[in-house]
A and B are shown apart, each in its own frame.
Chain A
Amino acid sequence: MSEPIDAAAKKPPRVGLFATCLVDLIRPRVGFATAKLLEDAGCTVEVPQQTCCGQPAFNSGDRKTARELAAQAIEAFEPYDYVVLPSGSCAGQVSLHYPELFEGDAAWLPRAKRLAAKTFELTAFLSDVLKVTPKARFEGSVTYHDSCSGLRELGIAAQPRKLLANVEGLDLIEMKDPHVCCGFGGTFCVKYPDVSNKIVGKKTENIVASGAATLLAGDLGCLMNMAGKLSREGSKIKVRHVAEVLAGMGDAPAIGEPER
């Protein structure tokens, strides 16, 4: 499955880009960064009509809606060689939970499994499947937060760091407890705002203490949570999706900054 793409192969891999709903709605820049990284690596990128992977419904106990949205995504992304998402948690939803949703369903389970097998989180895809290290420049210090689902469901930790190490001018400073949850948790942050606030407060304390000028992570939900808290605390730390920096788009307005 994870065989490297043969550069001499006749046809470039055809990648379906699943932007995720947060990127689609809030920060399209991450989608374009993802597309650029994939195209630079020799992929053909397409964006089929899409909505949400269904994770909010799945985690809220609404299995029926989760299944309907999963089926919709399976159909939309069936034609591609690979499906890539700039999010560990949505990639985990597709590659781990879609098959779980269709357990015992003879028609859909094989389709869910086929999609699951060709679906990757962006940094893992670049690093483990394409085996490329994108060339980029970014002046300044960054710290990287490991989003929980990507880290614990998909084992993503080394890949983004390896790719960032290759970015010219970038200085990666590890914060204390980068692998500890930021308190976002999807609907958790609005259902339990006080608890969520306490958790994100500990996180921003560690981010600030790292001394890094920029915070990076691979999931927009966590990024919005941390960016929103940093901004409320009056911090000047800039917050970006890791794809933006890897794609050389690190000079655009950061999350929560006015568009120019």
Chain B
Amino acid sequence: MTQAVNSPYFNANARKALDDAFLQKALARSEKGFIERRKAAVEKLPEYDALRDSARDLKDHILAHLDLYLEAYEKNVIASGGHVHWAATAEEANEIILGICKRLNAKTVAKGKSMISEETGLNAYLETNGIRPVETDLGEYIIQLRGETPSHLIAPALHVTKEQIEADFRRAHVELPPERNLDEPTSLLAEARAMLRDKFLAAEVGITGANFLIAETGSSVIVTNEGNGDLTQTLAKAHIVISSIEKVVPTREDAATFLRLLARTASGMDLSVYTTFSTGARRETDPDGPLEYHVVLLDNGRSNMLGGKFQEMLRCIRCGACMNHCPVFHAVGGHAYGWVYPGPMGAVLTPSLVGVEQGGQLPNASTFCGRCEEVCPVRIPLPKLMRNWREREFERHLQPAAVRYGLGLWAAFAKRPALYRAATSLAMRTLRLFGGKGRLRQLPLASGWTRYRDFPAPQGETFQSQWKKRGTAR
């Protein structure tokens, strides 16, 4: 793992995000669109829920036999003229890719969108080694100009407003006439396209991610809406696919099952604009295509998740629906999560890949509202998995002392009903005295509550005491 982890500072990151007016504007703009588009797409597909069940079962089957499908996949990649490289760690994956680039004397690398390359910190690594990576997905292009990382799985520049993008383009594209009109999103897109055209042609190597790897054919599949992935991989001398091991599916038909769910859940489209299947390098009869085809298969901690409490997380197909429906994500955006993967899926996956010591804040930063699980296309029980992490933290005494002692004290009373009744009876009557106006504006030890809200004063005597009196009176 090479991308720096800022997840332990979630609270500070979140405060910064809440104070960022641009970010708040960008988040408010995007929130409804994702939700409404997904809803409309799902309502048009009567078998949507049945499809989710099949997809879940299929993923469980794949994960139970992952070794077999990966071996079959490797065999068929080789049979179709490609190469497979196994990478246990992010560093290994980066070294393999650099090796290919150096052998081909690559100076420029065109990149399609890939979260796995974010996980390995590939761009920074290539730059350090004198190779220029150029992101070709519009959103990724924008954040590369800004020197940022993606804040969302499928909308990496979700945190940026149109006005900010215009300013970035004017700053970066100095060769273009300053008086040009960039008011419309389409003019921004056209400008990015024009700027990227030369880069596509110059790049000796094209790197893409993979949404799926098909075992029976050795193919990789990507979905894009801009067609940049196709140019990235067909114009270069070599196409390198960087993927994690759990992306493998047995057959083309299985890939179709997931494709039917993916775009609908992610963006409300029936299918993405481009769905590209790539099998091997250019054959003699092919009019174009790369001369070499490589697949770098990254583990980076995933095989440790197999057979354990977090295996269900490996079902994830990276649609982003969980974060699109998450109140915490809506409030603070993706960067606050402090590593590659934001939102509920990131809250489960991050501690799995970087360790609970560093990622433990994230599964705590959830209200457990359950909306993520409700919309997950492969039915990952995200709240349950977040709770599993909280249990790990608790077992290892990693939670803040105040939380631990607070709950411990509460539990000590709750486990002794008679003591509880006596103590709470007294406490509530005392609180009542201070809350004569019906509400408390400040409470010792509860500033987290009273900083922003009043605390409704208790009525006085507890329900149990009052009920007991009623019983005696009758």
Contact = CB atoms under 8 A, between A and B. Distances in A.
Interface stretch (A63-71, A119-127, A137-145, A162-170): A63-71
A149 B366 CA distance: 13
Contacts of B464: 19, 24, 47, 49-50
Contacts of B438: 253, 256-259
A195 interface: yes
B374 A59 contact: no
Interface in B417-447: 417-418, 420-421, 424, 427-428, 432, 436-439, 441, 446-447
A256 B467 contact: no
A5 interface: no
Contacts of A194: 11, 14-15, 18
Contact of B407 (A56, A188, A231, A253): A56
A232 B454 contact: yes
Interface string B147-190: 00000000000000000000000000000000000000000000
A51 B413 contact: yes
Contact of A52 (B390, B414, B418): B414
Given A49-B421, A148-B367, A191 B456 contact: no
B68 interface: no
Contact of A184 (B367, B370, B432): B367
Interface in B364-395: 364-371, 373-374, 387, 389-395
A153 B411 contact: no
Interface in A170-226: 180-181, 183-200, 202, 224-225
A186 B368 contact: yes
Given A19-B463, A258-B437, A232 B369 contact: no
Contacts of B414: 21, 51-52, 54, 65, 69
A191 B15 contact: no
Interface string B446-474: 11110111111111111110110000000
A64 B176 CA distance: 65
Given A26-B458, A193-B447, A198-B332, 13 more contacts: A21-B414, A25-B427, A47-B463, A49-B464, A50-B464, A51-B414, A56-B407, A69-B415, A152-B374, A187-B407, A191-B364, A195-B14, A257-B438
Contacts of A228: 439, 449, 453-456
Interface of A: 19, 21, 23-32, 35, 47, 49-52, 54, 56-63, 65, 68-69, 72, 148-149, 152-153, 180-181, 183-200, 202, 224-225, 227-229, 231-232, 253, 255-259
A30 B463 CA distance: 9
Interface in B231-250: none
Contact of A195 (B365, B391, B427): B365
A189 B256 CA distance: 42
B403 interface: yes
Given A24-B464, A152-B374, A190-B446, A65 B456 contact: no
Contacts of B436: 258
B407 A225 contact: no
B471 to A, nearest CB: 8
B413 A59 contact: no
The 10 A-B pairs of least Cβ separation, nearest first, read: A185-B367, A228-B453, A61-B390, A61-B394, A190-B448, A28-B463, A181-B369, A152-B370, A258-B438, A31-B463
B415 A72 contact: yes
Contacts of A227: 454, 456
Contacts of A61: 387, 389-395, 399
B373 to A, nearest CB: 8
Contact of B403 (A24, A65, A191): A191
Nearest to B441: A232
Interface residues of B, number: 68
B287 to A, nearest CB: 52
5 contacts: A19-B464, A28-B461, A65-B414, A148-B371, A187-B407
Nearest to A226: B453
A59 B368 contact: yes
A65 B370 CA distance: 23
Which residue among A186, A192, A225, A231 has the maximum number of chain B CB atoms within 10 Å of its CB? A192
Contacts of B369: 148, 152, 180-181, 185
Contacts of B42: none
A29 B331 contact: no
Contacts of A231: 439, 453-454, 456
A169 to B, nearest CB: 25
Contact of A188 (B366, B413, B439): B366
A258 B466 CA distance: 18
B391 A63 contact: yes
B410 interface: yes
Given A26-B456, A195-B365, A189 B332 contact: no
Given A47-B467, A61-B390, A224-B455, A148 B370 contact: yes
B327 interface: yes
A25 B460 contact: no
B418 A183 contact: no
A255 B452 contact: no
Contact of A28 (B11, B451, B457, B462): B462
Contact of A255 (B394, B456, B463): B456
Nearest to B452: A197
B439 to A, nearest CB: 4
